[in-house]
Amino acid sequence: MKKRKWKYIYGPVPSWRLGSSLGIDPISGKGKICSFDCVYCQVGRTKKMTARRKNYVSVANIMNEINSLPKVSIDYITFAGAGEPTLAKNLDKMIIAIRNIRKEKIAVITNSSIIHLKEVRNALCLSDFVLLKMDACSESSLKEINRPVYGIKIKNIINGLIKFRAEFSKKLAIQVMFVDKNKDLAKDLAVLIKTVKPDEIQINTPLRPCAVTPLTKADIVKIKNEFVRICAHSGIKVISVYDSIEKKEVKPISSPQTIRRRGKPI
């Protein structure tokens, strides 16, 4: 039988945050399109930088692949990919279409860069679990770590996150990727993120191959302890990539598409 070629779907992958997760890339059938060019990005430098929302891939193309899925056991269908999924103007329609035919929960992993836009928050509100990136707490740290496209401002991101929390009652996590450049910002980031009131804070460091070295387990434990101290009695759960969270055994339906979106495995 001829092997099915997948263009927009990848995984399922074992995720310390999502269990078994089937990825959907709603914007980049080819190279990475993103509003950031993070120093630690596992899929390399951003070739096309933009904050402009448009229909990059049709809902029909995504659904064509969803409808052809073999029997897979997954916890989440996750919009992520090699780029920023909220740049897809039709993200809301994709979520609705998938929800109509699949029983799994839907997650979106976003870099938060355009969360100040009401239509982006409306689309995210259609999902069950939103994972927001927050690696910086000032204009200079945003520029140094995430290297955003012109026009993205930290104050808009922070205001957008606060508004989104007020609008979204389902599970919300904030992920902080710590590298050498922002490890001294742990306290400031913890204080800031506590005000957003997520359900969970995920302390991460880039363990897959990329342009920077990950922090050590000792560094991450220290950072996690700082977050736990600052968030004590807030009800916010703090987890880290070095915690011994059991990863599920899953086999991707397409290894090349998975590596292109996630980088090489550790």
Q: Summarize as ranges the residues that interact with ligand SF4 (CB under 6 A).
A: 34, 36-38, 41, 46, 83-84, 111
41 vs 201 by CB, closer to ligand SF4: 41
In whole angstroms, how close is the CB of 38 to ligand SF4 at the nearest point?
3
In whole angstroms, how close is the CB of 177 to ligand SF4 at the nearest point?
7
β partners of residue 129: 107, 171
Residues 6+ apart with CB under 8 A from 155: none
In whole angstroms, how close is the CB of 133 to ligand SF4 at the nearest point?
6
In whole angstroms, how close is the CB of 65 to ligand SF4 at the nearest point?
21
Output the CA torsion sign for 78, 6, 51, 209. Answer: positive
21 vs 111 by CB, closer to ligand SF4: 111
Amino acid symbol at 48? K
Integer Cα distance of 5 and 219 in angstroms: 41
148 vs 231 by CB, closer to ligand SF4: 148
19 vs 81 by CB, closer to ligand SF4: 81
121 vs 133 by CB, closer to ligand SF4: 133
In whole angstroms, how close is the CB of 213 to ligand SF4 at the nearest point?
16
Integer Cα distance of 221 and 242 in angstroms: 8
Question: 260: part of which helix (H) or strand (E)?
Answer: helix 255-262
Provide the residue count of the chain. Answer: 266
